[in-house]
A and B are shown apart, each in its own frame.
Chain A
Amino acid sequence: MNLIDRYIDEVGRHLPEKERSDIEAEIRSMIEDMLEERGQQSKSADEKIIAETLEELGDPKLLAYKYSPAKRYLIGPDWYDLYLTTLKRVLSTALPIVAMVAFVLVFANDPLDFGRAIERALGSLFNVGTGILFWVTVAFVIVEHSGADVKEMGVSKSKAWTVAQLPKTPAKRQISVSEVLTNIVFYSLFVAWIVLPPFTAWLRGDESFIPVFHPDLWNVWFPIFAVIAILTLIIEIFKLKIGNWTTALTVSNVLLCLGTIIAIVVLITTQEVFNPAFLATILQNAPTEELRNVATTAKWTVNIGAAITIGICIWDMLDSIIKSRRLVK
């Protein structure tokens, strides 16, 4: 009897609470029937025969699962596609915004602390990202197990699909929404990084504030780069709207990239970029003698920064040209 009790107990552990005792009784009855079939009774039967009978029934866990309703998925095939699509859309729109906000918040307080700004941005990306992942998943798990009907909730409200519902243009666009948004975020941050500190200092009436860039640059160069920034933003907006590298878009992009490269090159070859006063304060505590040589450090930083920026521009240009040729095919 002990073997049977243990078996039934094991099955019961995997049964839904509500029906457990009922199903257990049924299984006990079933085992009795099987033993009778062999001319035995549970209270007198040989251990070996009982064991054989139970083994015929198989793994108690699997037996229990046969009694439970069909839904063993967390998110079943009905809902899985919609779940993935939703997740992708939400993450790709929310995360750039979150990064931007986190960045700006740190910058508004302390423009020099680039490191902390990045740290904050990454931290909030991670937090918000996991939060979104979790709640979207939970929502879909609930929907799956509440037995909602895909068609009702859905993606299409009409009763029967007609050809009119086919998308008019190919669904796959070359320039993804998240790519554009990320670009916009970074450009805005860059502009903010340059413009905000002197501006807020001016607002505060802060006489002791030392601007990063050379004061001579203000009258001519800043407007030039302001125009470039604005044009870049406009192109980003068009990228968002058009979605593919059309000829017009590609040409504008190439022109803008070339213009940026030229502007940067001219700037660093003819001008002092950094404000000497700024450099002096920062480098006072520099670790080595070489770094304390203000002039060389400044040149070094400027050149590296320019090189990186130019590299990005060139890549961007080539990328748009390549993709536009793919489109023509």
Chain B
Amino acid sequence: MDNEELVQNMLLELRRGILSLAVLSQLSKEQYGYSLLKALSDQGMEIDQSTLYPLLRRLESQGLLQSDWRIVDEARPRRYYVISAQGKAVLTKLKREWSAMTATMTQMLS
């Protein structure tokens, strides 16, 4: 495996790790799958639909999100996700840990 491929693989692993945290952070207001995808991408996090949608489902089954089929603005029915109370608590904890981790990493990588 050459370097470029190796770098891409390791980046993939890194991104996979932080995906859930990223998603949780964007769902304080309800979104549907595609709008969330755009929101993440606008902020620099590119992600596949086929990765995002199953992830949303998983987070919901873990109790961190709530979902609802809704008709908004006379559009067709869509599934809207929003962070749950438990999700908010978990997110707070994760944010704290994240700050600590990035501080450590920044130091290690400098």
A29 touches B78 (CB 8 A): yes
20 contacts between A and B (CB under 8 A): A23-B57, A25-B79, A26-B33, A26-B53, A26-B57, A27-B53, A29-B77, A29-B79, A30-B49, A30-B53, A32-B76, A33-B32, A33-B33, A33-B34, A34-B49, A37-B34, A56-B49, A57-B49, A58-B50, A62-B50
Known: A29-B78, A29-B79, A30-B49. A67 touches B57 (CB 8 A): yes
Cβ of A29: which chain B residues have Cβ within 8 Å of it?
Answer: 32-33, 76-79
Tell me the nearest residue of chain B to A36, going by C-beta.
B34
CA distance A26 to B49 in the complex (A): 11
Cβ of B51: which chain A residues have Cβ within 8 Å of it?
Answer: 66
Number of interface residues of B (CB under 8 A): 14
Contacting residue for A30 out of B33, B69, B76, B77, CB 8 A: B33
B50 touches A63 (CB 8 A): yes
A26 touches B34 (CB 8 A): no
Q: Does B54 contact A (CB under 8 A)?
A: yes
Which residues of B are at the interface with A, using a C-beta cutoff of 8 A? 32-34, 49-51, 53-54, 57, 69, 76-79
Tell me the nearest residue of chain B to A57, going by C-beta.
B50
B54 touches A67 (CB 8 A): yes
Cβ of B77: which chain A residues have Cβ within 8 Å of it?
Answer: 29
B50 touches A26 (CB 8 A): no
1/0 per residue, CB under 8 A from B, across A27-44: the answer is 101101110110000000
> What is the CB-to-nearest-CB distance from A178 to chain B, in angstroms, rounded to a whole number?
42
Cβ of B78: which chain A residues have Cβ within 8 Å of it?
Answer: 29, 33
CA distance A182 to B77 in the complex (A): 71
CA distance A186 to B104 in the complex (A): 66
Tell me the nearest residue of chain B to A66, going by C-beta.
B54
1/0 per residue, CB under 8 A from B, across A238-249: the answer is 000000000000
Cβ of A27: which chain B residues have Cβ within 8 Å of it?
Answer: 53
Cβ of B50: which chain A residues have Cβ within 8 Å of it?
Answer: 57-58, 62-63, 66
Tell me the nearest residue of chain B to A37, going by C-beta.
B34
1/0 per residue, CB under 8 A from B, across A269-311: the answer is 0000000000000000000000000000000000000000000
Which A37-80 residues have a C-beta within 8 angstroms of B? 37, 56-58, 62-63, 66-67
CA distance A66 to B57 in the complex (A): 11
A34 touches B34 (CB 8 A): yes
